[in-house]
Chains A and B, each alone.
Chain A
Amino acid sequence: MIEVRLFATFREGREKIVYFEPTKAACPADVLDELGIPYEEVAICLINGFHSGLRDAIKDKDVLALFPPVGGG
């Protein structure tokens, strides 16, 4: 399973953590499509703590973390 951790406003109306079968999520863009999150709203996309592009491959047991911009001061 792929573990998807959502942060900040991405959690609103969704779960904090969502799991996907690897067959249903080949890349972060697939996960965003499933969750209804527009690509342009993603400020940070990490796979296992490393920066990732939205079309980079994800595999079984990966942890995907998605963040909207949180830049206020």
Chain B
Amino acid sequence: MAEDSRYIRQTMLPQIGEKGQKKLAQSKVAVVGCGGLGAPVLTYLALAGVGNIRMIDDDTVNLTNLNRQFFYTESDIYQEKCKKTADFLQERNTKLTIEPLCERLTDKNVKRLLAGVDVIVDCVDRIETRKHVGRAACGFRIPFVEGGVHGFYGYVLPVLPGESACLECMAMGTIEEKPPIPALGAVAGVIGSLQAVECIKILLGLSHVMYGKMLQYDGLYGEFTEIPVHIRADCDCQKFNKIVNDESHMQ
């Protein structure tokens, strides 16, 4: 079958078409975290033909990951997640440029790791790293898609910097959950898939991205709840340009 047929089931969508598919192929996305959320996000972006995917994670595979992180096998334990993830994705789509960066994202390297991409998808498990991602994305004015899970619960929040609320607008980030955080693979699959959908919509320039809305998922009730959220006037997200453009802090 000709390579052109790979995407035929999505180019037939009026929202995508050949033009949209070309857009996806030319897009660059950074996914921070190759864990429970990162697995569905990266899989669906790669399969959809997002041409340039950068993934950032300094972790190695351990047995407790295998209830939800489907990139890895028992023989991958102690291996770097980033490299294993890159292999998994590249095998499924050899046309993509996959860029594994096996390092922890901090305020020191955030510019090098995230600047210049079209969308950032935040799939990390630490509040501190979420803050770095959110602040950098706001500073670079890069749209980003937040997602988080806790057992049967999860949320998705796409953010358009300067235009819609970020997690810090809601003051989230002052409480760090004590690890290990409960995690059910199927719930991470729901939330990660939603993050991938929002990311693809942003890349395509579609309207109705859920900016300004936090979508909460409750797997116990089988229920989605949309919560309108508003920018906090004194949130630092309005001031981050200065921080990320200060070369003395960034590599």
* Cα–Cα distance between A71 and B126 once the two chains are bound (Å): 7
Contact, CB under 8 Å: A73 / B124: yes
List of B residues within 8 angstroms of A11 by Cβ: 218, 220-221
Rounded to whole Å, the gap between the CB of A66 and the closest CB of chain B is 11
The total of interchain contacts (Cβ-Cβ below 8 angstroms) comes to 90
Contact, CB under 8 Å: B149 / A72: yes
A71-B130, A72-B36 are known contacts. Are A51 and B150 too (CB-CB below 8 A)? no
Number of interface residues of B (CB under 8 A): 42
* Cα–Cα distance between A44 and B150 once the two chains are bound (Å): 15
Contact, CB under 8 Å: B153 / A71: no
Pick from A7, A11, A73 the residue with the most CB of B within 10 Å.
A73
Contacting residues of chain A (13-36) with chain B, CB-CB under 8 angstroms: 16
* Cα–Cα distance between A41 and B43 once the two chains are bound (Å): 34
* Cα–Cα distance between A50 and B230 once the two chains are bound (Å): 5
> Is B12 part of the contact surface with A, judged by Cβ < 8 Å?
no
Of B3-11, B84-92, B95-103, B170-178, the one contacting chain A is B170-178
Q: Report A's interface with B, CB cutoff 8 A.
A: 5, 7-9, 11, 16, 40-46, 49-51, 65, 67-73
